[in-house]
């Protein structure tokens, strides 16, 4: 006879219930999180949509035809696509403000040009945004374009929107405060990194990383910032951790370079 059988059985059943409730709570939390994420990303799109609508009037104000406006926008988009991507193009973890051009630094550079050029750029931006909007609104212009051109334009529109989003750190910080998104956190991290503020770059890369563990860019910038701060072991550990989780050529080569040094 086991004198404590009933008491143990009760405890066992209570534990089972506790585990089950815990799992249900976890699952509910996960579902809520997914729903919230879907809602946030959905509202983000709608906000951008509002932005586009606000500049729909621009071509009419400028007096240009939609086709001409679109042509101009394509030119601008081509230019913007020439700007190399941040991080991925950098083999050296040390900051290279002169050579490591990013979307943001590209913008900063363009803003540092003469006022006339700045005005011209602003005008071009207005034109291109209106072109994007008109493209959405005017079914005629869509009909003129072949299918592959449509997808190309979509891509360009995405790049243009990204440039727009990344233009100002304070705007990005506010944007993140309102709606924490991976892309925003990553851009903030990149801006800080380019400015040589590695502490903040590390902090924001970490925030981005929490929001999306799959994208290597946050991992890399996180590791590079730590490396730039002299915390080399930690930087290597971050990359190793990422490589255990997911294979990445970039992370591997970076780790190899650091190990050789």
Shortest reach from residue 25's CB to other proteins, in Å: 17
Q: What's the distance, Cα to Cα, between the start and end of the chain in Å?
A: 68
Question: Contact between 18 and other proteins (CB under 8 A)?
Answer: yes
Question: Contact between 12 and other proteins (CB under 8 A)?
Answer: yes
Question: Contact between 140 and other proteins (CB under 8 A)?
Answer: no
Query: Are residues 205 and 182 in contact, defined by beta-carbon separation less than 8 angstroms?
Result: no
Closer of 4 and 94 to other proteins (Cβ): 4
Q: What are phi and psi of 255, to 5 degrees?
A: -60, -40
Between vectors from CA 204 to CA 46 and to CA 92, what angle results, nearest 5°?
115
CB neighbours of 239 closer than 8 A, spacing ≥ 6? 219, 220, 223, 251, 254, 255
Question: Contact between 20 and other proteins (CB under 8 A)?
Answer: no
For residues 185 and 176, give the distance between their C-alpha atoms in angstroms, rounded to a whole number.
7
Shortest reach from residue 24's CB to other proteins, in Å: 18
CA 136 from chain centre, in angstroms, equals 23
Q: Which stretch binds other proteins (CB under 8 A): 2-10, 65-73, 87-95, 210-218?
A: 2-10
3-state helix, strand, coil in the chain (%, to 5): 80, 0, 20
Closer of 15 and 60 to other proteins (Cβ): 15
Residue bearing tokens 């970076």? 254
Instruction: Figure out which of the listed residues 5, 170, 260, 261 binds other proteins, where binding follows CB under 8 A.
Output: 5
Shortest reach from residue 15's CB to other proteins, in Å: 4
Question: Contact between 21 and other proteins (CB under 8 A)?
Answer: no
Shortest reach from residue 195's CB to other proteins, in Å: 49
Closer of 14 and 37 to other proteins (Cβ): 14
Closer of 7 and 36 to other proteins (Cβ): 7
Both tokens assigned to 258: 């650091």
Question: Contact between 1 and other proteins (CB under 8 A)?
Answer: yes
Q: Which stretch binds other proteins (CB under 8 A): 11-19, 23-31, 115-123, 187-195?
A: 11-19
Shortest reach from residue 1's CB to other proteins, in Å: 6
Between vectors from CA 33 to CA 30 and to CA 39, what angle results, nearest 5°?
145
Question: Contact between 14 and other proteins (CB under 8 A)?
Answer: yes
Residues touching other proteins, count (CB under 8 A): 13
Closer of 15 and 117 to other proteins (Cβ): 15
Closer of 14 and 122 to other proteins (Cβ): 14
Q: CA nearest 37: which of 181, 177, 171, 165? A: 181
For residues 126 and 76, give the distance between their C-alpha atoms in angstroms, rounded to a whole number.
11
Query: Are residues 192 and 170 in contact, defined by beta-carbon separation less than 8 angstroms?
Result: no
Question: Contact between 8 and other proteins (CB under 8 A)?
Answer: yes
Contacts with other proteins, residue ranges (CB under 8 A): 1-2, 4-5, 8-9, 11-16, 18
């Amino acid at each position: 006879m086991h004198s404590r059988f009933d008491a143990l059985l009760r405890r066992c059943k209570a534990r089972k219930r506790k585990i089950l409730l815990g799992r249900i709570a976890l699952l509910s939390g996960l579902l809520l999180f997914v729903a919230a994420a879907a809602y946030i990303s959905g509202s983000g799109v709608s906000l951008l949509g509002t932005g586009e609508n606000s500049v729909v009037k621009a071509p009419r104000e400028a007096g240009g035809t939609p086709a001409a406006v679109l042509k101009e926008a394509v030119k601008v988009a081509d230019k913007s696509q020439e700007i190399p991507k941040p991080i991925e193009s950098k083999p050296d973890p040390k900051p290279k403000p002169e050579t490591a051009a990013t979307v943001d630094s590209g913008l900063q550079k363009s803003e540092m040009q003469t006022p006339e050029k700045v005005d011209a750029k602003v005008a071009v931006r207005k034109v291109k945004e209106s072109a994007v909007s008109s493209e959405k609104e005017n079914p005629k212009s869509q009909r003129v374009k072949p299918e592959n051109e449509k997808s190309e334009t979509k891509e360009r529109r995405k790049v243009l929107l990204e440039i727009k989003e990344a233009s100002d750190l304070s705007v990005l910080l506010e944007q993140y405060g309102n709606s924490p998104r991976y892309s925003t956190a990553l851009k903030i991290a990149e801006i800080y990194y380019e400015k040589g503020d590695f502490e903040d770059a590390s902090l924001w890369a970490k925030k981005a990383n929490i929001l999306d563990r799959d994208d290597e860019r946050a991992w890399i910038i996180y590791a590079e910032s730590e490396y730039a701060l002299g915390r080399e072991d930690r930087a290597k550990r971050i990359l190793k951790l990422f490589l255990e989780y997911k294979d990445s050529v970039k992370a591997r080569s970076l780790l190899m370079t650091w190990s050789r040094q």
